[in-house]
Amino acid sequence: MHRKHILLAALILCLAVPVQARAKSSLPVFTDLAERAGRAVVNISTVKVVEQQKNPLIRQAPIPEGHPFREFFDQFDKFFGQQPNRPHKERSLGSGFIITPDGYIVTNNHVIQDADKVTIRLREGGPTHEAKIIGRDPETDLALIKIDVDQDLPVLEFGDSDDAKVGEWVVAIGNPFGLGHTVTAGIISAKGRIIGAGPFDNFIQTDASINPGNSGGPLIDMDGKVIGINTAIIPSGEGLGFAIPSSGAKAIIEQLKSGKTIQRGWLGVSIRGLSETDAKALGMKEPAGALVASVFEGDPADQAGVKQGDVIIAVNGKDVADNAELLRKIATLKPGDKARLTIWRGGRKLTRTVTLGERTTASAAQARPGKPQTASVMGMQVRPVANRQEAKALGLKKAEGLVIVDIDPSSTASEEGLRQGDVIMQANQKPVNSASELESIVKGSKSRGAVMFLLKRQGQNIFIALPIDK
């Protein structure tokens, strides 16, 4: 009996070992990838000469003779005040990766911006080379630099970030905190992140450890291809690193390499996103696309017949999720290209073909939307009715009044039956067309203790009085 137990235990052990081996072998191994890819990752150090700030303690006017502190300040000037303002050097560190055997290197614009000298170290303990700045694109935070070498250098190739999926393994290589060649691994946590870094935010988020000094280094997939350029972190968060997708970076790098000025397409409109209430008001099934807030007279969109209140839902047959995606899609096209826009107008789809102009700093500033005229009043978030198209959808003859875009469910307004999509036409028998007008009326009605609202709801007039907390 004892012998049978021994044989059974041995059999179980034999069965268990392959299971453990399989579990162990399923984990990724990064040794070969780190060695191969790491050869093309470089350390970047920069020097910038800046003027010394004037010492705020230095006197701007002389102390008169006989002043009780004259002797003290004379001694102070002797040791501090009379020193000339000498320039000093500021140094910074970053990363980059080689893309051609003859020494072209990709990095972030913010790594080399305003630098008077850029030095490249090929590997830890390896030789250094002074680099020349070939081109920069501040709007996407990309830069291309070059070193002159007498041998072919190892390179990294771009992959397709569009094919990368959330949950896939990735490796980041760089020089965090100036510690030299460092490899970290993680997964793609999210795609299409907007963090407010620039007009074309579309970052890959990863939990592979990224720190100051990693900027400009590559984010690599398991095939050894660069799918992102490590760019940003959130200092207060852990496991939150962001990389510029390779799909958008490749074309920009090619333009910089050929010595061309970066050119981007321009529609000539200002746009904003859609809320669920907007979509309902416009008869759309979901809030997808970009609402045209204004069309600039004489610009490409105006010439093609795009109108204020249109919703652009696709470009060249590809759906547009929101205003940020529309901006990116148009920016990837060049001036003179034709863009076929699918537009939602009056409850149906239309097509307009636009010959794009060129996006400039001035035109981008013109298109930047101003602060919306919204306010939270008595638990309601309100804004003016945008245009005739929205007015028609809300049952109005023209664009007037304030539409309720959100409402606090615990507010008196909600308890008394006001809803999202209601349009406030009057308050205490006075027309209201701006949030500031409504705020003023409510403030002036505190002595009465209530405000009478005239609402328009699906074409019907409704009066509702709301009490005011004195």
With beta carbons less than 8 A apart as the criterion, state whether 334 and 265 touch: yes
Rounded Cα gap, residues 398 and 379, in angstroms:
26
Q: What's the whole-number average pLDDT of the chain? A: 83
- Please give the annotated binding residues for substrate, written as ranges: 110, 141, 213-215
Of residues 266 and 398, more confidently modeled: 266
- Greatest mean pLDDT among 66-80, 308-322, 445-459 lies in 308-322
Average pLDDT over residues 30-53: 86
Domains of the chain by range and CATH? 169-257 (2.40.10.10), 265-367 (2.30.42.10), 375-467 (2.30.42.10)
Q: Is 427:441 a contact under the CB 8 Å cutoff?
A: yes
Q: Which residue has the higher pLDDT, 157 or 72?
A: 157
Q: Indicate the range of 51-60, 330-339, 369-378 predicted with least confidence.
A: 51-60
Flag whether pLDDT at 102 surpasses 50: yes
pLDDT, position 136: 93
Amino acid at 455: L
Structure tokens at 107: 């990095």
Residue 414: C-alpha distances to residues 20, 103, 379, 419, 459 (Å): 60, 65, 8, 7, 20
Nearest one of 107, 117, 95 to 144, comparing CA atoms: 107
Which 3-state string (H, E, C) describes the chain? Answer: CHHHHHHHHHHHHHHHHHHHHHHHHCCCCCHHHHHHHHCCEEEEEEEEEECCCCCCCCCCCCCCCCCCCHHHHHHHHHHHHCCCCCCEEEEEEEEEEECCCCCEEEEEHHHHCCCCEEEEECCCCCCEEECEEEEEECCCCEEEEECCCCCCCCCCCECCCCCCCCCCEEEEEECHHHCCCEEEEEEEEEEEECCCCCCCCCEEEECCCCCCCCCCCEEECCCCCEEEEEEEECCCCCCCEEEEEHHHHHHHHHHHHCCCCCCCEECCEEEECCCHHHHHHCCCCCCCCEEEEEECCCCHHHHHCCCCCCEEEEECCEECCCHHHHHHHHHCCCCCCEEEEEEEECCEEEEEEEECEECCHHHHHHHCCCCCCCEEECCEEEEECCCHHHHHHCCCCCCCCEEEEEECCCCHHHHCCCCCCCEEEEECCEECCCHHHHHHHHHHCCCCCEEEEEEEECCEEEEEEEECCC
pLDDT grade, residue 188 (50/70/90)? very high
List the one residue out of 365, 382, 364 whose CA is nearest residue 373. 382
Radius of gyration of the chain from Cα atoms? 31
- Catalytic: which of 215, 246, 247, 270? 215
Ranking 51-65, 180-194, 362-376 by mean pLDDT, the lowest is 51-65
Under a CB-based contact definition with an 8 Å cutoff, are residues 129 and 162 in contact?
no
Nearest partner of 246 among 358, 303, 170, judged by Cα = 170
Span of 72-81, 106-115, 435-444 with lowest mean pLDDT: 72-81
Separation between Cα atoms, residue 456 and residue 402, nearest integer Å: 10
Q: Tell me if residue 410 is catalytic.
A: no
Q: What is the pLDDT of residue 173?
A: 95
Q: Indicate whether 371 pLDDT > 50.
A: no
Among 52-56, 179-183, 225-229, 458-462, which stretch is predicted with the lowest mean pLDDT?
A: 52-56
Write out pLDDT tens, residues 123-156: 766 789 999 999 999 989 999 999 999 999 999 9
* Residue 55: count of CB within 10 angstroms of its CB: 11
Q: Which band of pLDDT confidence, cut at 50, 70 and 90, is reported for residue 43?
A: very high
Non-local CB neighbours of 281 within 8 Å, separated by 6+ positions: 390, 393, 394, 403, 421
57: pLDDT strictly greater than 50: no
Q: What is the pLDDT of residue 23?
A: 46
Catalytic residue among 137, 141, 299, 422: 141
74: how many CB neighbours lie within 10 A of its CB?
11
Nearest CA to 99 out of 153, 166, 44, 177 is that of 153
9-18, 66-75, 169-178: the lowest-pLDDT one: 9-18
Active-site annotation holds for 181:
no
Q: Are 159 and 227 in contact (CB under 8 A)?
A: yes
Q: What is the pLDDT of residue 65?
A: 61
What is the rounded average pLDDT of the residues 347-360?
A: 92
* Cα 28 from chain centroid (whole Å): 31
pLDDT reported for residue 237: 67
The residue that leads in pLDDT, 92 or 390, is 92
**Pairwise CA distance, residues 26 & 39, whole Å:** 26
Whether the Cβ atoms of residue 129 and residue 145 lie closer than 8 Å to each other: no
Residue 11's pLDDT is: 46
φ and ψ of 197, to 5 deg: -80, -25
Question: For residue 424, what pLDDT is reported?
Answer: 93
Six token digits for residue 130: 């002074």
Of the chain, the percentage scoring pLDDT greater than 90 comes to 41
pLDDT at 375 over 90: no
Most confident of 1-5, 204-208, 211-215, 361-365: 204-208
Has 114 been annotated as catalytic? no
Residue numbers belonging to the annotated binding site:
110, 141, 213-215
pLDDT of residue 114: 86
Strands across the sheet containing 104-108: 128-130, 117-121, 41-50, 88-98, 104-108, 142-146, 132-137
Q: What is the pLDDT of residue 73?
A: 56
Please identify which of the residues 95, 110, 161, 422 carries the catalytic annotation.
Answer: 110
